[in-house]
Amino acid sequence: MSTPPRNLPRFLPTLTEVIRPPEAVQESRPSPIDTEQMIHRVLQRVDLALEPMLREAIGPMVVDQITAMATRLRPEVEAVVRQAVADAVSYTHLRAHETPEHLVCRLLLEKKKTTR
């Protein structure tokens, strides 16, 4: 059985030449979905890179601001706490000296307030 001779191509590509199919030669644009996905991925990477830089740059300023604010607010906070403690102590002191008659009156007044 003999095979007929084949016609060899006139040009054989070498290893230094790149052959592309006709579809790959044409420039194709990415679809809008691909573009949005690419933008989302880039922004995620930017966020990951920026976060440590922002912490490093802004961290000391935030600590300074909180320290300054705490220094200014300390007297106000102390005054509020002192007033709350004084009110609690005076109320407890009044209740300690409460007579049975006063107790009955107070309970009746509280009951009257809740029923309204």
In a domain? residue 9: no
40-72: per-residue pLDDT in tens?
Answer: 888 888 888 888 888 898 999 999 999 999 889
Torsion of CA 94, 98, 102, 104, to 10 degrees: 110
Alpha-carbon span 116 to 111, nearest angstrom: 9
Asked if the structure places residue 1 within a domain, the reply is: no
Give the residue with greater pLDDT, 43 vs 4.
43
Range of the structural domain that residue 57 is part of: 33-115
Is pLDDT at 97 greater than 60 in this prediction? yes
Give the pLDDT confidence score for residue 24 in this predicted structure: 47
Number of structural domains found in the chain = 1
pTM of this structure = 0.31
H helix runs in the chain, sequence order? 22-25, 32-96, 100-115
In this predicted structure, the answer to whether residue 18 has a pLDDT above a threshold of 70 is no
Evaluate whether residue 77 is within a structural domain.
yes
